[in-house]
Amino acid sequence: MPKFIDGVIKFRNEIYGQHKELFEKLADGQSPEAVFIACSDSRVETAMITQTYPGELFILRNAGNIVPPHTSQTGAMTATIEFAMSVLKTPHIVICGHSQCGALQGAMNPDRISHLPHVKEWIGFSRAAVEVVEELAKDKTPAEKMDMLMKQNVILQIQHLKTHPSVLRRLATKELTIHGWVYDIKTGEVQAVDETTGEFHPVDEHYAKLAREVIPPHTCGE
């Protein structure tokens, strides 16, 4: 805790002043560009990965970056997604999985979490992804299966996300784009899924056209 307390003091005395205008503007409201759904794993630092500032991401985190399918039962994920879609009108949603995910290791090996009833029930929302891996990767190594599960879980959670009425409305009016990412902790690589093929590609390839629009290529003489 002393490290965290020192950090808070440093933020207030040094960092805040460097971004004072930004924080004063944010005090009046927020208009984030994306909902970012990530795992609670402490190794996944969303602001560092995306190089974003306060006010740019509306972040939802839980074990396994899971989105339960929509039901009439109210839950934190359901309510927060509804708020982001219906009030904030956020134009993008990113579901980001990551390597070495403990939640998915539990999903692949349910006996490890049999003594954790709430965890076991929550991780059950990844069960269909496990079944896909068991069907398609019978001859793969455990490491290869986990890599596939990380990706299949993102694809599954995108499908769950589309069962939420507030999301479907925004998709129907083409006011929302959903993205599926996976982050490799060891290499720092981020890949994005092509929903048409189900294949994952490095973000610089997947978003090549968009990246050129944001960062135009240099012309001769510059």
- Which of 188, 44, 190, 178 has the alpha carbon at shortest distance from 103? 44
Distance of alpha carbon 152 from alpha carbon 159, whole angstroms:
11
Q: Are 183 and 148 in contact (CB under 8 A)?
A: no
pTM summary value: 0.91
Stronger pLDDT, 17 or 211, i.e. the higher one: 17
- The contacts found for 159-163 with CB under 8 angstroms, 24 or more apart, are 160/66, 160/67, 160/68, 160/69, 160/70, 160/125, 161/67, 161/81, 161/93, 161/95, 163/69, 163/70
> Which pLDDT belongs to residue 209?
75
Q: What is the mean pLDDT of residues 99-106?
A: 97
Burial of 197 (0-12, 13-18, 19+ CB in 10 A): exposed
Contacts of 93 (CB under 8 A, 6+ apart): 34, 35, 37, 84, 161, 167, 176, 177, 178, 179
Our CA angle for 62, 167, 90, nearest 5°, is 80
> Which pLDDT belongs to residue 75?
94
The proportion of the chain whose per-residue pLDDT surpasses 90, expressed as a percent, equals 92
Q: What is the mean pLDDT of residues 117-135?
A: 97
**Greatest distance between any 2 Cα atoms in the chain:** 66
Return mean pLDDT, the chain.
94
CA-atom Rg of the chain in angstroms: 19
Distance of alpha carbon 156 from alpha carbon 53, whole angstroms:
29
Q: What is the mean pLDDT of residues 138-166?
A: 97
State yes or no: pLDDT of 34 exceeds 90.
Answer: yes
State yes or no: pLDDT of 90 exceeds 80.
Answer: yes
Q: What is the mean pLDDT of residues 121-144?
A: 96
Q: What is the mean pLDDT of residues 117-138?
A: 96
State yes or no: pLDDT of 212 exceeds 70.
Answer: no
SS3 helix, strand, coil % of the chain, rounded to 5?
50, 15, 35
> Which pLDDT belongs to residue 213?
58
State yes or no: pLDDT of 210 exceeds 90.
Answer: no
> Which pLDDT belongs to residue 219?
46
Q: Are 98 and 160 in contact (CB under 8 A)?
A: no
Distance of alpha carbon 136 from alpha carbon 149, whole angstroms:
11
Phi and psi (nearest 5°) for 115? -90, 5
pLDDT band for position 216 (cuts 50, 70, 90): low
pLDDT band for position 214 (cuts 50, 70, 90): low
